[in-house]
Amino acid sequence: MENFQKLIIIENQYLKHEIADVLWLEKFHSVGLKLGWSMNKQISSEGHDERFFDNKIQEMQAQVSFIHLKPGRTFDENRPRVSPYISVKGEKRILIDPQEDIVSKLSEFRQSCSKPVFTAGTRHLSHITRLHDQLFEPLKFMKLSEKLQIILNKAVT
């Protein structure tokens, strides 16, 4: 209960809720691992990824381990790396949406962004298809965009 008492003085409401959730899950459901994402491998005292929150959780002596995955990707020159689960309106990004036309979108992105940004974005997406192939069924002899469309269609139906 001592850790829960320390939560009272935290002013950042989002941080307070994040810590409370993890402490509650640890205490009442024996959760010992939290998956998150990080912009880079360096630990930061402030920021926009989950390392900041996880550092604060560790300060509360939570007995939880952390795994940090890579951030999401966009095809935007100014914001190529972003949160993997939040999309900003108008963002050049593949979305988990039943109406998403990945083939058309990737074709548009190929024309509208620089080669390094397009390559980084498609490399990120190719890792997703590779994981799908390993876990489920290999999608052979197709373009990346076609594989992604099949995976998306499976995910949203």
| pLDDT tens per residue across all 157 residues of the chain | 466 677 777 888 888 898 999 999 999 999 999 988 888 777 665 666 788 888 889 988 889 999 888 899 999 999 999 988 888 998 999 999 999 999 999 999 999 999 999 999 999 999 999 999 999 989 989 999 999 999 999 999 8
Question: E-strand spans in the chain?
Answer: 33-37, 65-69, 72-73, 81-82
Q: Does the predicted model carry a pTM greater than 0.85?
A: no
pLDDT of residue 1: 47
List of long-range contacts for 1-4, beta carbons under 8 Å, 24+ apart: 3/60, 3/61, 3/62
